[in-house]
Chains A and B, each alone.
Chain A
Amino acid sequence: MASSRDDFIIAIRSAFLKKSTQQKFSLLTLVLVSIFVILLSSFDFRAVRIMKTGINEFVYRSSFVVSIPENFIKNTFINIAEYTTFYNNYKKNKDELDELRSRNISSEITQYENKELKELINDYVSSSDKILAKIIVDRDSPFLKSIIINKGSKDKIKIGTNIYDQSYLVGRVIEVNYKTSRVLLLSDLNSNVPVTIAPQNIQAIITGQGDDFGQIKYIKEGLSDELTEESIVYTSGTGAIFKSGIPIGKLKINEEDMDKKMYVEFYSDFSQLKYVFAEVLSKTEVKNSGNISENDNENKNPIDAKLRILEDEIKIIEDSNAKFKQENERLKSEINNLNNEIFKSQTQITSQRDTIKQFNLDKEELKFLRLNLVHGHKCRKTFLNSKGFIVGTSDYKKCVLNKE
């Protein structure tokens, strides 16, 4: 027993401490260094942060270069898959585009109103620039869902910067380097987003599930019954982590075994991202005129803002009216064209009726001639047939036709 324990200890000691000729460090040293690095990375020291940023910059770029062949194969695979559904997607997109165009005008009005009202509340204008960023590392790890973009602190990216795919939210920046940043995707388990579900106007939090769906969590009891399939989920802006009103996805309800689970199907496909937009926000204080007293400003600014809203609304309504007028003109000319066509058709119908009438007359005359040959002698007034009629009279014709 003692000898087997000794063997075990010798084997362990040898494994830990023995260096073969090629090894520069023993395993024990390196294991201790690893533990030390883990401890360091759990503390947010400035020196560690700078060192980490340097490593990140180098590794991300190297990873991008090394991933080129695999990305080529991956993209080819995705392209082939896309081509198979190309036509169906095109039709679907076309329908969606038509619908969206029709909603555009009302959306513009809302945007103007929203902007002006925010200005009134915050006393500053929050202007945003969306900068295009390329995804340089997209490791769809089964454990963490994140991407690396080629924009960093040099491009005014900060921790928490919202990242978009078109106008859909995909995540936020969690690590910023000089020229690169790491974005935590909404699908990650550690991602929690405060949202509003429309049209019910219910507040909730969605959490990533590690796949293409997010799960609705922390919803007030009883309110979940009001939710319906296909409801729209967008950011509520609570907690000021994400901007409000950014579309995220559509609601999907899964009822299995009396257990109602609600998921959010993200609008954006995170596995297909190539470029994203990073929203760089800058706040500008609303400047008040120096000549006017503060009270006057308080009174005047809201009125000015309201006037500006109304002016904008008028402008939009005028634009809409101009569009409607154009549409009316076009419809009028179309009506005229149609009336002309109707008139032409009616003339054609009349001429066709005349032709038919003539045809009927000819048919009757033919019938009379045929009967006249057979029965003419019976109706003709002769010496022997005093009851007959004179040839050519209408009575004669009637008589012949009645003989049929």
Chain B
Amino acid sequence: MTNLKNRGLIFKFYSWLPLIILFISVMNEFDFNYLNLKYFSFNFPFILIFFFTLKDFKNFDYILVFLAGLINDTVVGLPLGISSLSYLLICLATSYFRNITIRPNSIKDWFYFLFIISLINSINYSILTLFFSLELILMNYIVNTFFTFLFYIIFVSIFKYYLKVLND
């Protein structure tokens, strides 16, 4: 990877890759919904934001996360600011978790992630139903949370490999 660092432009692209993927995923809603599996969906941005903010990744600027949230709201058709708030709450939770953790543990992170996304989805659901009077299926949120939790461990192994390559 020393070669990669020498090649300035490629290294820059590589180090910005998580943010590029975040923006592509919010514009693209990367979630395999066209497979038409009943209730199946997962929230890829949650996994990405949680992991990289937990690792305090240098290029993961909060203002860009905020913008990604605004874009997600526009694409999905939610009231502006909902996803931004969700993403920033994840950042807040990871920041807190980072501060109180002395010895990081993947399994602890994983279950902390479940707790955080459950909480954020609950807040999301409450705001949309109470303040915006939208009718939503709670089961969709529960299944979405569950699959996001399951997929976390898969994506984390990919992200860890990415960080390893970047740091080498």
Chain A interface residues (CB < 8 Å from chain B): 7, 10-12, 14-16, 18, 20, 22-25, 27, 30-31, 33-38, 40-42, 52, 55-56, 59-60, 62-63, 66-67, 70, 74, 77-78, 137, 139-144, 146, 175, 182, 189-190, 210-211, 271
Contacts and interface: CB of A to CB of B under 8 A. Distances in A.
A37 B70 contact: yes
B39 interface: yes
Contact of A23 (B39, B62, B79): B62
B62 A139 contact: no
B75 A63 contact: yes
Contact of A140 (B34, B82, B141): B34
Which one of A34, A70, A271 has the highest number of Cβ atoms from chain B below 10 Å of its Cβ? A34
B62 A27 contact: yes
Contacts of A77: 34
B56 A20 contact: yes
A14 B95 contact: yes
A153 to B, nearest CB: 17
Interface stretch (B3-11, B109-117, B131-139, B151-159): B131-139
A42 B31 CA distance: 28
A321 B24 CA distance: 62
Interface string B25-67: 0011111011010110100000000000000101111110010
B140 A25 contact: no
B119 interface: no
B39 A142 contact: yes
Contacts of A66: 24, 27-28
B88 A30 contact: yes
Contacts of B137: 142-143, 189, 210
22 contacts: A7-B100, A11-B100, A12-B96, A14-B99, A15-B99, A22-B58, A22-B60, A24-B61, A24-B62, A24-B63, A30-B62, A30-B88, A35-B81, A40-B80, A41-B81, A67-B27, A140-B34, A143-B136, A143-B140, A182-B77, A190-B134, A210-B137
A38 B96 contact: no
B91 interface: yes
A15 B101 CA distance: 13
Contacts of B69: 34
B56 to A, nearest CB: 7
Interface of A is mostly: helix
Contacts, number: 144
Interface residues of B, number: 54
B75 A59 contact: yes
A38 B81 contact: yes
A190 B34 contact: no
Given A40-B80, A77-B34, A30 B27 contact: no
B84 A34 contact: yes
A55 B92 CA distance: 26
Given A31-B88, A34-B84, 9 more contacts: A23-B62, A30-B84, A37-B84, A38-B80, A38-B131, A55-B70, A59-B75, A139-B33, A189-B134
A42 B79 contact: yes
B76 A38 contact: no
Given A15-B92, A23-B62, A27-B95, A137 B85 contact: no
A249 to B, nearest CB: 18
B131 A42 contact: yes
A142 B140 contact: yes
A223 B118 CA distance: 43
A141 B83 CA distance: 14
